[in-house]
Chain A
């Protein structure tokens, strides 16, 4: 395995894109934003699945992978759910209750 320059360009562009996207988020929503990005960074689940699901993985990999999949699943499940729970509470004046 090696790292090619395309990967570095992807990183660079994602960093700039991130800055532009986050700058536009209203401070009103900074808490839900943080829990959403938290859920998104649970993308580590991809790496965790690869470690845990591998053929004839050694015990160490299995244990570490299992903990990692569990931890990421906790994050993605609770992250998305609590963000939604928070956003449901943001109502405009006169808006009806659901």
Chain B
């Protein structure tokens, strides 16, 4: 009897997760999506606790308590700029759970055949995602160097390590009773996870985070196979395909392939690029910028990771407010890979209370730049570089970019002329119509807002 109730709970939980993702598609229904997701999770947990195999509850309750005690502050105290780090960390936790369950199951049953295949996949993906995500966390938190670290024969080494891990996995499937192989197999997966992320640079993080998301989901799905639990398979697969699609979207937005992101560390080929810092640029003061913005009718703002670093999103909202009040049409153009994870800019701008119907995707706004009086670039670089369109020798050639250069006037807030992550000089800065606003994004925006405010009272 209980068995049937548990199965029913699991079935409803699976349906809830599907509905949850369906409702996530639009902001109007998204919060309902969370509610139904939580309900599904509750049913799954209660259902599991009811199972007759589960007899000892103390440990579970202590772990629930401990997990909540860590999870609640993690959710409420994290600043929104740190969301990519938090996401990386939770991929690590999820993957660790899957890997440890895999290990526990292995030592308990030493299963054979397809179950062992699933278990090996679960453990391999789990362990490599665990260390990989921790590395990604370290890079995003800037505990580790964010530049890609490369060395000779890196790819050969990584691939042979993965090959060795897979070989041990296959050997374990064939001879599960050889328990000495399991720790070696796990260690290889852990080391591979670290080495996989070492050559990844900051701007590739959106793709890599999405890919790790996919792996974490797939390892949960593999656990479902190993435990013959269809709820786990459905939830894990949904997560896996979500991460996979997001990483495809990110790759497309950079005109690169998976292999290129994972194995072709950006940033070396460009060192030969000639120094162009001597070329003349036009710079402007906050007063100049304010008067141009004030007399504009249509302004498109292009935010990038630099905005997040400078925490300038709230100042940007003030600028948006004061310009909108004066009848200027202000919109935001968001490149898919702006920031450090998919959708990062949208969250930051929403946090600053900028209405989401003013945030536009690249394809929806790109044709409007030609009509814009001002394109204001705040902390974005490579995604505005016309070289991606014009210069076939550029490493970013072919990458879809925001057509900032089509606007009547281009303003770029930037600390200095230093090249972006890819180490590529940006043609945009040397154009006749471009005004460089040198300084800290937050400070500069503050001055502009003050100037516009002053001209109201004058």
Contacts and interface: CB of A to CB of B under 8 A. Distances in A.
Interface of A: 1-3, 7, 10-11, 14-15, 17-19, 21-55, 57-58, 60-62, 64-95, 97
B404 interface: no
B94 A89 contact: no
A47 B48 CA distance: 9
A85 B76 contact: yes
Contact of A67 (B34, B96, B353): B96
Given A31-B344, A46-B231, A37 B97 contact: no
B57 to A, nearest CB: 7
A66 B370 CA distance: 59
Contacts of A87: 27, 30-31, 34
Contacts of A23: 245
Contact of B242 (A22, A81, A94): A22
Contacts of B104: 51, 60-61, 64-65, 68
23 contacts: A3-B225, A7-B233, A14-B233, A14-B237, A17-B18, A21-B22, A24-B25, A31-B344, A33-B343, A36-B34, A41-B220, A46-B48, A49-B48, A50-B48, A51-B104, A52-B59, A55-B55, A66-B59, A68-B96, A71-B97, A76-B71, A79-B90, A82-B75
B97 A3 contact: no
Given A11-B221, A53-B57, A72-B97, A38 B213 contact: yes
Contacts of B75: 77-82, 85
Interface string B72-108: 1011101010010011001101101110110111011
A61 to B, nearest CB: 5
Nearest to A76: B41
Given A28-B346, A31-B346, 12 more contacts: A32-B30, A40-B37, A41-B216, A43-B235, A43-B236, A44-B236, A47-B101, A48-B97, A48-B101, A51-B105, A53-B57, A53-B60
A64 B336 contact: no
Given A68-B97, A74-B67, A37 B238 contact: yes
Contacts of A21: 18, 21-22, 25, 238
Grouping DSSP codes into helix (H, G, I), strand (E, B) and loop, the A interface class, with mixed when no group exceeds half, is helix
Contacts of B227: 47, 50
Contacts of A62: 59
Contact of B93 (A1, A30, A75, A97): A75
Interface in B326-363: 334, 336, 341-344, 346-347, 350-351, 353, 355-359, 361
A10 B70 CA distance: 34
Given A29-B24, A38-B239, A60-B104, A82 B78 contact: yes
A7 B67 contact: no
B301 interface: no
A45 B351 CA distance: 31
